[in-house]
Amino acid sequence: MADDALDQAVARTRDARRRSRQRAARRGFRVHASVFAAVNLGLFAIWLLQFVLEGSDQPWFLYSVIGWGVGVLVHWTVIRKPFSGHGAP
């Protein structure tokens, strides 16, 4: 009987830790995506200003969008896998 209570307590603790890790992973992704959007929006604004004032037609901000975008996409893929039921506990 005591083993059942212990097993239930262990299972509840595991579930609570898993949910905590999931929340932290989602929060980390939201921060990553928000910083990505803010920085790249700022770079786009700088490029647009440069385009208007100097006529520069090289869209250099795309290097950051593409490079960093791959990292954000990989981050999203990694945090979504455990939530779909296919990942490790």
Spatial distance between the Cα atoms of 79 and 46, rounded to a whole number of angstroms: 32
Whether 87 shows a pLDDT value over 50: the answer reads: no
Confidence grade of residue 89 (pLDDT, cut at 50, 70, 90): very low
Give the mean pLDDT of the chain.
89
pTM: 0.77
Sheet strands (E) in the chain: none
pLDDT (mean) for 50-79 = 94
From residue 50, alpha-carbon distances to 61, 73, 78, 80 in Å are 11, 29, 37, 38
| Closest-CA residue to 61 (of 71, 47, 51, 79) | 47
pLDDT (mean) for 47-72 = 94
Spatial distance between the Cα atoms of 87 and 22, rounded to a whole number of angstroms: 12
Report the pLDDT value the prediction gives residue 29, as an integer from 0 to 100: 97
